[in-house]
Structure 1
Amino acid sequence: MKGFGSNKKFFKDKNNLFDKDRLIIHALELHQKGNTEEAKSCYQKILKKGIADPRVFTNLGVLFQMENDYEKAIKFYKKSIISFPESHEAYSNLSRVLLEIGKYELAEKYLIKVITLKPDFLKAYQNLFNVYVKTNQRKKAGDVLQKCLKIAPNDPLIISNLGRFLLEENNLDEAKKYIKKAISLKPDFWIPYNNLATLEATIGNLMEAEKNFHKVIEINPNYLEAYVSLGEIKNDLFKIKEAEALFLKSLEIKKDFVNGYCSLFRFYEKTNNLIKLKKQLNIQDGNPVIKNELLMYRSRVFFREKNFSKAKELIDNVSLNWVGKTDVNTRLNFWSFKAFIEEKSENFNEAYDSFIKSQLNTKYEKCNKTEFRNYIINYEKNLHNKNFFLKRDSFFNKKHEVYFLIGFPRSGTTLLDTVLRSHPDIDVIEEKPVIYSLEKIIKNQFKYQLDEIYKLSEKEVEKLRTYYLENISKLSDKKNARIIIDKFPLQTVSLPLINFIFPKAKIIFVHRHPYDTVLSCFQQSFEPNNAMANLRSLRESSEIYDLSMKMWVKYKEKLSLDYKMSRYESLINNFEVHTKKVMNFLEIEWDASIKNYRATALSREKINTPSSSQVVQPIYKSSIAKWENYKTYFYDCHIFLEKWIKYFNY
């Protein structure tokens, strides 16, 4: 917001120039000293004298905009334009308040007028870029950024914005180049560090993201979103206490920081810390700023405590108008919470509709579900080359003690994981992308695609073995564990690589009723990626389930796997018998501590799957045959699932 100074060319009545000048200069001095109320009073006295001066109109507009009285701000900015229609700054001020209140079409109109009056006015182009970003006009936004670069080729903000824009376009290499250039131009500028942290988090470099978010806070300790973003990163890195401290710090800085409350409530719920969640909800009781957030998370607490009628009463009082306007994470959580509450109330149609809305994560727009399908198919191609088997057998020289827990998402892997890690001699590494790291080495260092595993040399395979064994060991919290199990359900499709490197690996394959598995996938709000993009509907989940199981059958038949089938329903219905069979397969004695698996789950600071709220509960059977409540919605899924009902003997 920019006000006019005391330039005398704006005065039209030459006879009263001295009186006007004296009055206006006095008002401007009050304004500049921060005496805004007195300045406002002086400006209004000037207007009552019939003095129509653009500086007065503009500065009153600025003051009212600072007070969020946008209607009056717009009124005075328009009067400024009328009194001085040649001023590009008058149009710029009006466009900025329109941008602030979301009237993007009008803001665009006035910004174009600004550029017509002053074609090299950088701020107008920057605001026009913001208009196009807000209205998702990506092509126009990119064009405007290029114009900004021509005007100011070394402006760190523009270069950083271009990097952020390219990041959102998923052009990661170019994005990083521009963001780092912005940092080199202005090393103490927090915005490019924030963009770099976001980029590193996007590609999974969490430690780099952590470092850069720390830099943001160091430079700008009042940027609250950095505390929340860094808290999320710390949570993903299992630095639970540090994550909590960051969320609390954001609220210490600003007591009405809504995103801070949402993040803190979500954090406590996801880490199963209901005691602290309830405490915070009680502390904030009656806080009008977060009225709907309080209703939503109180409802979730009652749901977790199995008071379903109270949970429904509260969730039904949440404003749907608020739901539509809140941030995407809170909105998705609301629909997920509501869906499960409606399900417990046996309102299955309402539950289904809510589950659909819980899948509307805009991050999926950057995902390509076809890429994951091609990834599966490319792996399978290795089996058609005889060199795959010849090399695998010739490279194998000793038995490595490696173990994998696989299956399909939501098939019961997390429950079995929790049970197994209750054994004093077993540790389970939960969904860490070590195999994915091997894939990156194969593609980036060895220059092979995943359908060319058979081209790997013995030296390259040994390097992959060493990398895997070293890294899986580092990830283990139980340093004396005799068995370390790598649990990652979708590594089912990576079995050709696993088998090529470790032909004698022990594989536990978990399965569950296909319809219940597919339903449970659809009901979860996964973190978006190419694989999870296939699980957003019953139909899509059924298709990818079918493809994955076809691969399992082929791999089981052709790879000579050392495997054990683990049926989820058997674990539920005959817990001790089933776990003893799994222990026999692992060649380890059954231990009574396995019965206390809930204590193991509750002692964990974080469970890194959507099952986190379920595995801490006693074994329950309500998840069996749950799909029958949604039978009508499976009408186009039977072609993919019926064969697996027979195959798994359900």
Structure 2
Amino acid sequence: MNINSKIKEALLKKSQGDISGAESIFLEILDFSPLQYEVLINLGLIYVHKKMYEASIYYFKQASEADKNNIDPYINLGNVYTLKKNYTNAIQFFELAHKIDQTNLNVINNLSFLYNEIDKLIESKKIITIGLKIDPTNYFLLNLLGLIFVKKEKISEAIDYYIQSIKSNPNYWDAYSNLLFILEKTNKLDLFKKYIDDAKKIFTDQPPINLFEASYLMRKKNYLKSKKILLENQFIDKLINQEDNLIKYHDLLAKNLDFLDESNSAFDHFNLRNNIKSNQLHNKIYDKNIILDLIQNYKKYFIKINLDKFTKPVIPEKYQTPIFLVGFPRSGTTLLDSILRSHSKILVLEEKLIISSIRDRFFEKNNNKINSLELLSDDDILSLQSEYFDMLHEIMNEDIHNKIIIDKLPLNLIEVAFIKRVFPQSKFILMLRHPCDTVLSCFMSDFKINEGMASFYNLKDATILYNEVFSLWDQYLEVYDLAYHIVKYEEVVLNFDNTIKKTINFLNVEWEEDVKNFNATALARKKINTPSYNQVVQPLYEKSINRWKKYDEIKKIYSSLEHWIKKYNYN
């Protein structure tokens, strides 16, 4: 067999689109001579094209044996494992390629991207630094640095790197998209508008630009014009097979319709958005029943007969006790957070999973037995407190001496009993809002999905979770002597000074006039990590009070919430 002429014949068929013909000839060559590098590489590429990834992996590995100093098999193996979303294996092969050639920017780009995907930010930055020394204008790496700094909540640095990426390559859409996203999320609306206008000059057929522009107009309260952009020229047809953009489309349109009091149409679009989200593969992994089962387990266990078995440790005041701001999502906790953090003596920890992380580790060490809480010693509790404050210092990176720490995470309401075990002197601020407005707002909000938020795709499931959470809270009130203070969202809006003064008194600090300037505090914040990010930067307004009355669908669940409406004097 003339191997070279056979290879040329196979490559010709491949270039002419006859993939099966090329495959047959390559396999014929391997029967005659098994370690032909060019044949092995091409077979690997053919099987990638046919999405036969295991076969492609086999031939690329054979190619790496045929030529141990060639980086191409390792790059191809890295690419295949990336397609399979097996990022750990992909990194392994790109690292092998990097050892052979430490200046190959394709390898560097892939490695830094993959490390970022698995949240190994230090490793990603290390590779990026190598790449930027080779090419300081590498727009891909500059954009990636922006993504890393967003994860680290260093927003100014992120914005700078996105802008550098755009300057290096004005035609790189990803940098524009990431920049526009973070500018809107951090309420930098003037810059947001500037880069929308810049992007429109370059990208004439990029549908997300229209979404960003509609978002800007909505933020500027030009609801009619925002709605028009979304509805004109059959814009939605351009978003077919773009799930995330369709979600944003329905979200924006629904919010505009809500502001325009077209409530039933708004409800329909919120529903369409939620249906798309609920069918996304990365959201399907979250089961709403996990949190409901947890609540049932807590209800069964945290009863007086079991609490009487608890040791009564005497805890030295080594650590200050945080105050926990709890409630149901969308009840106004982010508003109260912004108000309280405007006080010079108060630090607010915003929606960090410290308590649940400590809880999970504690039960893992104790064979997931809930009764392991019963026999904790003084040292055990101090160790849990130490773990809490170690995580707190890592997150806040601020001097907490002589400060009141408020840990704000609404659904820590479920964890009151565990919190009381770790911090026996803990206090709670319970944020309330009309139950119908709360449930409706949860349905309307574009949450990042987890086990808790998986109940908010529809009003029925949101109502079930609301009832379960507050019935657990009632049980806690029966079995514990809780130090708590209730703040109603409606009273903050309608009677600000009196309501906040009572809250400040509960916290044992002096009144400061700065708390009235909470919206300026919110604007100065780097990033607000809740769906309320664009509301707390505005002056207080009454539109969100009794919004539920405009929605016909809420009538279907009113009776299920009536107990709480009466209990908390909303009737």
> Does the pair score TM above 0.5?
yes
Q: By how many angstroms is 1:364 displaced?
A: 0.9
Correspondence for 1:589 among 510, 520, 523: 510
Q: By how many angstroms is 1:196 displaced?
A: 3.0
**Could you tell me which residue of structure 2 aligns to residue 195 of structure 1?**
114
CA distance in 2, matches of 1:627, 1:435: 33
Mark the CA change 1:417 to 1:616 in structure 2 (over 3 Å): closer, same or farther.
same
Match of 2:537, SS state, is: coil
CA distance in 1, matches of 2:291, 2:60: 37
Matches within 5 A, 1:438-457: 438-443=358-363, 446-449=365-368, 451-454=370-373, 457=376
Matches within 5 A, 1:118-197: 118-119=26-27, 121-126=40-45, 128-129=47-48, 132=51, 141=53, 143-144=54-55, 147-148=58-59, 151=62, 155-157=73-75, 160-161=78-79, 164=82, 167=85, 176=88, 179-180=91-92, 182-183=94-95, 186-187=98-99, 188=102, 189-190=107-108, 191-197=110-116
Q: By how many angstroms is 1:449 displaced?
A: 2.1
Is the CA contact 1:518–1:538 (under 8 Å) kept in the aligned structure 2?
A: yes
Letter of the 2:292 counterpart: R
**Could you tell me which residue of structure 1 aligns to residue 525 of structure 2?**
604
CA distance in 2, matches of 1:647, 1:553: 11
Is the CA contact 2:443–2:458 (under 8 Å) kept in the aligned structure 1?
A: yes
Q: By how many angstroms is 1:331 displaced?
A: 3.9
Q: By how many angstroms is 1:282 displaced?
A: 3.2
Q: By how many angstroms is 1:161 displaced?
A: 4.9
**Could you tell me which residue of structure 2 aligns to residue 404 of structure 1?**
324
Letter of the 1:622 counterpart: K
Mark the CA change 1:606 to 1:572 in structure 2 (over 3 Å): closer, same or farther.
same
Correspondence for 1:495 among 416, 431, 435: 416
Mark the CA change 1:236 to 1:392 in structure 2 (over 3 Å): closer, same or farther.
farther
CA distance in 2, matches of 1:440, 1:181: 34
- For structure 1, the 5+ residue unaligned runs are 1-6, 11-53, 56-86, 96-109, 133-139, 169-174
Correspondence for 1:320 among 233, 236, 247: 236
Is the CA contact 1:406–1:510 (under 8 Å) kept in the aligned structure 2?
A: yes
- Which deviations, in whole Å up to 9, do the C-alpha atoms of 1:126-170 show, x marking residues without a partner? 5544664xxxxxxx65x44664576458753465456546656xx
**Could you tell me which residue of structure 1 aligns to residue 68 of structure 2?**
none
Is the CA contact 1:516–1:624 (under 8 Å) kept in the aligned structure 2?
A: yes
> Is 2:490 aligned against 1:565?
no
> Is 2:172 aligned against 1:257?
yes
CA distance in 2, matches of 1:196, 1:576: 49
Letter of the 1:617 counterpart: Q
> Is 2:275 aligned against 1:275?
no
Letter of the 1:89 counterpart: L
Q: By how many angstroms is 1:472 displaced?
A: 2.4
Q: By how many angstroms is 1:622 displaced?
A: 0.6
Correspondence for 1:393 among 312, 322, 327: 312
Structure 1 stretch displaced more, 365-374 or 234-243: 365-374
Q: By how many angstroms is 1:462 displaced?
A: 1.8
> Is 2:539 aligned against 1:627?
no
Identity of aligned residues (%): 27
**Could you tell me which residue of structure 2 aligns to residue 76 of structure 1?**
none
Match of 2:532, SS state, is: helix
Q: By how many angstroms is 1:614 displaced?
A: 0.2
Root-mean-square deviation (Å): 3.5
**Could you tell me which residue of structure 2 aligns to residue 355 of structure 1?**
270
Q: By how many angstroms is 1:372 displaced?
A: 3.4
Letter of the 1:584 counterpart: N
Larger Rg: 1
Is the CA contact 2:363–2:370 (under 8 Å) kept in the aligned structure 1?
A: no
Match of 1:544, SS state, is: helix
CA distance in 2, matches of 1:294, 1:408: 34
Is the CA contact 2:75–2:97 (under 8 Å) kept in the aligned structure 1?
A: no
CA distance in 2, matches of 1:553, 1:386: 17
- Which deviations, in whole Å up to 9, do the C-alpha atoms of 1:335-388 show, x marking residues without a partner? 322221122223333322332343334331343333333344444454259565
Letter of the 1:274 counterpart: L
Matches within 5 A, 1:65-104: 87-93=9-15
Is the CA contact 1:598–1:618 (under 8 Å) kept in the aligned structure 2?
A: yes
- TM-score relative to the length of structure 1: 0.73
Q: By how many angstroms is 1:333 displaced?
A: 2.6
CA distance in 2, matches of 1:633, 1:152: 63
Q: By how many angstroms is 1:611 displaced?
A: 0.7
Is the CA contact 1:422–1:597 (under 8 Å) kept in the aligned structure 2?
A: yes
Mark the CA change 1:325 to 1:560 in structure 2 (over 3 Å): closer, same or farther.
same
CA distance in 2, matches of 1:547, 1:91: 66
- Which deviations, in whole Å up to 9, do the C-alpha atoms of 1:535-556 show, x marking residues without a partner? 2222332222222222222222
Larger relative contact order (C-alpha < 8 A, sep ≥ 6)? 2
CA distance in 2, matches of 1:186, 1:215: 11
CA distance in 2, matches of 1:153, 1:372: 48
- Which deviations, in whole Å up to 9, do the C-alpha atoms of 1:224-273 show, x marking residues without a partner? 55544542331232211111122223322322222222221111111000
Mark the CA change 1:547 to 1:127 in structure 2 (over 3 Å): closer, same or farther.
farther
- For structure 2, the 5+ residue unaligned runs are 31-39, 66-72
CA distance in 2, matches of 1:211, 1:387: 52
Q: By how many angstroms is 1:421 displaced?
A: 0.8
Match of 2:331, SS state, is: coil
Match of 2:216, SS state, is: helix
Letter of the 1:367 counterpart: Y
Mark the CA change 1:443 to 1:292 in structure 2 (over 3 Å): closer, same or farther.
same
> Is 2:477 aligned against 1:556?
yes
Matches within 5 A, 1:304-383: 304-317=219-232, 319-324=235-240, 326=242, 328-359=243-274, 360-361=276-277, 362=280, 363-383=282-302
**Could you tell me which residue of structure 1 aligns to residue 356 of structure 2?**
436
Mark the CA change 1:508 to 1:621 in structure 2 (over 3 Å): closer, same or farther.
same
Match of 2:240, SS state, is: helix
> Is 2:452 aligned against 1:540?
no
- TM-score relative to the length of structure 2: 0.82
